Amino acid sequence: MVTGSRFTSAVDRRTVLKFGAAGAAVAALSSRKASAERLRTSARIVIAGAGAAGISAAARLVQVLDGASITLVDARKEHYYQPGFTLVAAGLKPESYTVAANRDLVPAGVTLVEERVEEFDPAGNKVVTNTGRSLPYDFLIVATGLRLDYGAIAGMDMRLIGRDGIGSVFAGPKAAAATWQEMSRFADKGGIGLFGRPATEMKCAGAPLKYTFITDDYLRRRGNRGRAEVIYAAPTKGLFSVPIVSEKVRMLYQERGVKVRYEHVMTAIDPGRRVATFKTPSGSEEIRYDFVNVIPPMRAPEAVRRSELAWQSGPFAADGWMEVDRSTLRHRRFANVFGVGDVAGVPKGKTAASVKWQVPIAIDHLAGTISGKPSTMAYNGYTSCPLITRLGRAMLVEFDYDDNLLPSFPGVIAPLEELWITWVMKEVALKATYYSMLRGHA
């Protein structure tokens, strides 16, 4: 009953907010950038997670709403520019290239609570943090990213990264730098280099492929490619979810002598013997390595996974991804909740590039609810990946939910071509674009 009455009062409050704003006769959000046009509201908005999606959502809200109480919740004090991890693990950038202070990125007018959301209570319209603090809201934006489940690989421990030939580009700035040390040692000597990806949904599905190409290139530059075997273990029968990209990578791997093992899912690692175990259709198989890039299964953070916000059935349920509408990013059962970034249970996506498109759309729908003028914006699943194929060359791969290639620079950057200009985009321009997105710019 208590929950029910809280829910009712929050709904009533939203109704009041909606009509209050409608009375102010505001213009459509997309044209409501200048402060004079901001939508006047007293809505309480909580954002869980201050990563790429959370910070950019906060910045957008500040641009379009006037008078809202916006609270950003994240226990992590550091902000990671994760696309830079690959460059750190390639020895091209220092660890510091990928780290900033969250405090410095939080827009003025937004309250930062440096705690973790422990409980999502969408029926009660509140979240509860690890200190027991309850944060009621009229609207919730969930932007918690995902959890790297290293524990799901028997024998694997994050503390092993940087020792005995074990690397992992994904685990954070320090792990990326430690991975570079191990990969560089391998490139100096040769041996067996083992690469692959998990069977779950993952962020930046191009990253494992890129790192294989980069390692191959270092072996060649150091004259040791002949002394090395490079193996890529794919969990499915393809190398990438978009068939034309998968085929292109297969051809390049064949050209470069990368041996592909299909339908191989890593289940265990034995650092002492330097052996990884894989589940395959014909049973368990061991592969020896001198260097391995371990990429663990990825799932929604526990607080989301065990909450009412997770998909209850279907392909996204097992790993707890959030049940949002794929076009609006609005929760399918709790209309005042949105899910953006890696946590969203939508096909494809899980890149900073998806965040760039998802966030403005989710915010437009949120503001549309307040103003009483529903948004018509729809997300088509756009995502992109500058897929490094060697140092100094990359292919820009951009596509939507339906695997359509969506080149942003037709006539200038051909998709699926190894180009220097695409490399420059990844190495130089992407970081500036990312930080611009955090400031709420397109």
Ligand X SMILES: Cc1cc2nc3c(=O)[nH]c(=O)nc-3n(C[C@H](O)[C@H](O)[C@H](O)COP(=O)(O)OP(=O)(O)OC[C@H]3O[C@@H](n4cnc5c(N)ncnc54)[C@H](O)[C@@H]3O)c2cc1C
β-pairing, 117-121 with 126-129?
antiparallel
Q: CA-based Rg of the chain, rounded to a whole angstrom? A: 23
For position 303 contacting ligand X by CB under 6 A, the verdict is: yes
Residue from 116, 250, 256, 431 touching ligand X (CB under 6 A): that is: 116
CB of 49 to ligand X, least distance (A): 3
For position 196 contacting ligand X by CB under 6 A, the verdict is: no
CB of 385 to ligand X, least distance (A): 6
CB of 221 to ligand X, least distance (A): 22
How many Å apart are CA 44 and CA 13, to the nearest integer? 10
Nearest to 310 by CA among 322, 298, 326: 322
Comparison of 26 and 437: residue with beta carbon closer to ligand X: 437
How many Å apart are CA 14 and CA 131, to the nearest integer? 27
CB of 8 to ligand X, least distance (A): 27
Q: Answer whether 377's CB lies under 8 Å from 411's CB.
A: no
Structure tokens at 412: 């200038």
β-pairing, 393-399 with 383-390?
antiparallel
Residue from 170, 195, 291, 382 touching ligand X (CB under 6 A): that is: 170
Tokens 């641009």 -> residue? 63
CB of 15 to ligand X, least distance (A): 28
Residue window 308-347: x/- pattern of binding to ligand X, with contact defined by CB under 6 A: ---------------------------------xxx----
Q: Answer whether 26's CB lies under 8 Å from 32's CB.
A: yes
CB nearest ligand X: which residue? 51
Residue from 190, 296, 386, 440 touching ligand X (CB under 6 A): that is: 386
Of the candidate spans 201-209, 253-261, 360-368, 393-401, the one that interacts with ligand X by CB under 6 A turns out to be 201-209
Comparison of 26 and 379: residue with beta carbon closer to ligand X: 379
Residue from 353, 366, 394, 395 touching ligand X (CB under 6 A): that is: 353
For position 202 contacting ligand X by CB under 6 A, the verdict is: no
Number of residues forming the site for ligand X (CB under 6 A) = 36
Comparison of 47 and 370: residue with beta carbon closer to ligand X: 47
Comparison of 33 and 77: residue with beta carbon closer to ligand X: 77
For position 204 contacting ligand X by CB under 6 A, the verdict is: yes
Comparison of 65 and 207: residue with beta carbon closer to ligand X: 207
Residue from 141, 385, 395, 397 touching ligand X (CB under 6 A): that is: 385
Structure tokens at 419: 């180009």
For position 120 contacting ligand X by CB under 6 A, the verdict is: no
- Residue 317 is classified by DSSP as T
DSSP string across 13-61: HHHHHHHHHHHTTPPPGGG--SGGGPEE---EEEEE--SHHHHHHHHHH
Structure tokens at 413: 């950057």
Q: Answer whether 348's CB lies under 8 Å from 381's CB.
A: yes
Side-chain-side CA neighbours of 75 within 13 Å: the count stands at 9
CB of 72 to ligand X, least distance (A): 9
Nearest to 292 by CA among 313, 279, 278, 304: 278
Q: Which of residues 33-92 bind ligand X (CB under 6 A)?
A: 48-54, 73-74, 76, 82-83, 85-86
Q: Answer whether 29's CB lies under 8 Å from 64's CB.
A: yes
Q: Which of residues 137-156 bind ligand X (CB under 6 A)?
A: 143-145
Residue from 277, 293, 336, 351 touching ligand X (CB under 6 A): that is: 351
Q: Quote the strand ranges of 225-310, DSSP E.
A: 228-233, 258-261, 265-270, 275-280, 283-288, 291-293, 298-299
Q: Answer whether 179's CB lies under 8 Å from 92's CB.
A: no
The values of phi and psi at residue 222, to 5°, are: -95, 10
Residue from 61, 112, 169, 397 touching ligand X (CB under 6 A): that is: 169
Residue from 135, 249, 352, 413 touching ligand X (CB under 6 A): that is: 352
Instruction: Write out the H or E segment, with its range, that includes residue 207.
Output: helix 207-221
CB of 288 to ligand X, least distance (A): 25
Q: Which residues bind ligand X (CB under 6 A)?
A: 48-54, 73-74, 76, 82-83, 85-86, 116-117, 143-145, 169-170, 203-204, 207, 301, 303, 341-343, 350-353, 355, 385-386
